[in-house]
C-alpha cells in the first residue's frame, strides 16, 4: 500500500500543477499520523478542507456528499473580493482558497515577504512512531516554509520513520 500511495503522491502533484483540484474522502478515520500526512500530500490545499474523513459508512452518503458539494459548489472567488496579494503579484483563485504568484524578489503567502536570493534546502521530516501526534503540524510548517522562499529556490524532502522507503527522488 505504501508504494502505491507514493506513486499517487507523485501523480497528484502533477495533476495539481496542471490545475486539477483533488479531494479525498476516507472511511473509518485513520488516525495513523503517517497515513494522514501522506494523504495531505495527495489532496489540494488546504488539506483541512479537502481531506474529508467519515467514521461510519452511513456518513458517506450524507456527510461526505454535503461537504464535497459545499466545497465545490459554494466556492467564493477570494481574488475578486479584495486585494489579497502584495508587490504587484497575481492572485489566482482556487477552490477553498487562493494563491499569489509572486514576482522575483518577493515571497510568502501574499508575496509581502522579501527573499532576494534563491536557496537550496532539504527538509527532513520525522514521522516515526516516537513523534506521534506532532506530525500533524508538519504539513502546515512545510507549506509555510516553501511559500516564504524565493520563487527560484529548490526544495527537497527527506521523510524518515520506523519503516524505510523512498517517497520520491529530487533532481
| Concatenated DSSP letters of 38-75 | HHHHHSPSPHHHHEEEESSHHHIIIIIHHHHHHHHHS-
123 lies in some domain: no
Task: Average the pLDDT over 25-39 and give the result.
Answer: 68
108 lies in some domain: yes
149 lies in some domain: no
Task: Average the pLDDT over 129-145 and give the result.
Answer: 66
Provide, rounded to the nearest whole percent, the portion of the chain with pLDDT above 90: 2
157: β partners: 123
pTM of the model: 0.55
Under 8 Å between Cβ of 107 and 147: yes
What's the rounded Cα separation, in Å, for the pair 51 and 44?
9
What's the rounded Cα separation, in Å, for the pair 3 and 103?
37
9 lies in some domain: no
Cell 500543477, residue? 17
146 lies in some domain: no
Looking up residue 86, the CATH number of its domain turns out to be 2.10.25.10
93 lies in some domain: yes
Judged against a pLDDT cut of 50, whether residue 26 lies above it is answered with yes
Say which range, 2-16, 35-49, 69-83, has the weakest mean pLDDT: 2-16
Domain that holds residue 109: 77-115
101 lies in some domain: yes
pLDDT band at 13; cut points 50, 70, 90: confident
Count structural domains, the chain: 1
Amino acid at each position: 500500500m505504501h508504494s502505491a500511495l507514493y506513486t499517487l503522491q507523485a501523480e497528484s502533484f502533477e495533476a495539481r500543477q496542471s490545475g486539477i483540484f483533488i479531494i479525498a474522502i476516507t472511511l473509518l478515520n485513520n488516525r495513523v499520523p503517517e497515513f494522514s500526512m501522506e494523504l495531505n500530500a495527495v489532496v489540494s490545499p488546504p488539506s483541512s478542507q479537502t481531506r474529508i474523513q467519515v467514521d461510519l459508512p452511513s456518513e458517506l452518503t450524507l456527510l461526505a456528499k454535503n461537504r464535497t458539494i459545499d466545497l465545490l459548489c459554494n466556492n467564493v472567488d477570494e481574488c475578486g473580493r479584495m486585494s489579497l496579494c502584495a508587490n504587484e503579484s497575481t492572485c489566482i483563485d482556487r477552490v477553498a482558497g487562493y494563491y499569489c504568484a509572486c514576482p522575483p524578489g518577493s515571497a510568502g503567502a501574499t508575496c509581502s515577504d522579501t527573499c532576494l536570493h534563491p536557496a537550496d534546502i532539504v527538509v527532513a521530516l520525522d514521522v516515526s512512531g516516537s513523534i506521534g501526534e506532532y506530525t500533524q503540524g508538519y504539513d502546515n510548517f512545510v507549506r509555510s516554509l516553501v511559500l516564504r522562499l524565493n520563487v527560484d529556490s529548490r526544495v527537497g524532502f527527506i521523510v524518515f520513520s520506523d519503516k524505510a522507503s523512498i517517497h520520491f527522488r529530487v533532481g
